[in-house]
Every structure is written in C-alpha cells, then in structure tokens.
Structure 1
C-alpha cells in the first residue's frame, strides 16, 4: 500500500504529465495559428506553467516525508504516461521497443522505490 508521501509524488507525476501534454498542445496550436497571442497558445501555455508550479509544490511537500532516493524513481513514470497520452491525444505511434521500455521502467521504479 502506498503511504501519503508516495501518493503525493504520484499526484506530482500526474500533474507534470498533464503539463507536458499541454506543452505539446501549445506547439500544435502555434503551428496552426502562428500567433503567440492566440488563447489556444498563450492561454494553454499559462495553464501548463501553473501546473508545473503546482507539480513543484507537490514535490517539495512529498520530500518532507519521503527520502529523495525513494521518491525520484517515480519521475520515470512520466516516460510511460506522457507518450501514452501523446499516442491517444495526438495519434503518435508507439513501437514495440517503447512497450519493452515501459516494462523496464516500471520494474525499475518498483525495484528502487520499495523498502
């Protein structure tokens, strides 16, 4: 079972993941409008920035109770979630190598973050 600190870390990773997807959306919208001042560009960029600030706050909060050596491996989960969402939302193609990498990342997180 996950303790409170690890749940906060997972929330941090989730917020960071959403921020990355929003950065991709900013880039896509900018390619369409070629204007930084379009709401789909600047507005989404501001929201992504707020999410990054939130993620940082969650990280600091989690580190109050979790050792950094136990907490940091969870950030590798971003390498799993961001491409999965990118495939779902933007039609990006994921390879078999990606799937194998996901298995290795998850195994690494489990091995390095458990007591």
Structure 2
C-alpha cells in the first residue's frame, strides 16, 4: 500500500464496518429465541430469516475483504493489533445506539486500546 496513513484509514474503515456488523448481530439476536429442539439446521434457518443477522454477517464479510486486501502488502504484526479498534467502536456504538452504559473502567480500557494501537503502528 502507498502509505501508512492509507493503511490506517483502510483499517479504521474495516474495523468500523465489522463493528456495525456486531451491532446488527446484537439487534438480530434479540428478535428470536433459540429452540434447540429444532436442531442446528433449524436454528441456522431461523438466523437466515432475520434481516439484522444477515446484514451483520454481510458487514463482517465486507470487513474481512478490506482486511484481506491489506494483508497482501502490509505486515500482520502491524495490522492485527489495529483490529482491537473494533472494541473501541463497538463500545461507542453500543452507547449511542443500544443505550448501553460506559463506566470509568470501559473508558480507561478504550484509552488503553487506542494508546496501544498507536504504539504498535509507529
């Protein structure tokens, strides 16, 4: 890839897309109950009927395509730690969209993750 800045932008996009995927999976999982008497195949087909779950899986796949593209030219030891930004994005999205709470410990964790990603990418 041409530059570190472009790599970082692509990784942020990839992790943000994956984070939205997690958000949609969460919303989708709240819409149905697992009935194990249906068996794994029955549960799988129930998932396929849920638009949130389908969208979440698609977003995960799109995120993976971004990541695979970057893996062609960049070092895994630099890229993989950047995927931890997904924890940051999921926490922030969960706060605003799902109305989940963020306490002091989560805030410290977010700051630590961002600091760690900056250190690894330098």
Q: TM-score, normalised by structure 2?
A: 0.79
The alpha-carbon distance between structure 1 residues 78 and 88, as it changes in their structure 2 partners (threshold 3 A), is same
Q: Which residue of 1 aligns with 2:71?
A: 63
Residue 61 (structure 1) shift: 0.1
User: What is the deviation of 1:37?
Assistant: 7.4
Q: Gapped runs of 5+ residues in structure 2?
A: 34-45
Q: What CA distance in whole angstroms lies between the structure 1 residues aligned with 2:90 and 2:105?
A: 16
Structure 1 residues without counterparts, runs of 5 or longer: none
The secondary structure found in structure 1 opposite 2:30 is helix
Alignment of 1:1-115 (within 5 A): 2-30=4-32, 36=46, 42-114=50-122
Post-superposition, which runs of at least 4 consecutive aligned residues in structure 1 deviate over 4 A?
none
Task: Report the number of matched residues.
Answer: 108
- Greater C-alpha radius of gyration: 2
TM-score by length of 1: 0.83
Pair 1:37–1:80, CA change in 2 (3 A): closer
- Relative to structure 1, the CA distance from residue 104 to residue 37 in structure 2 (aligned partners, 3 Å threshold; closer, same or farther) is closer
- RMSD over aligned Cα, in angstroms? 2.0
Give deviations 1:9-54, integer Å, cap 9, x for gaps. 21110110000000111022336xxxx4796xx1111111111111
The answer on whether the counterparts of 1:26 and 1:44 sit within 8 Å (CA) in structure 2 is: yes
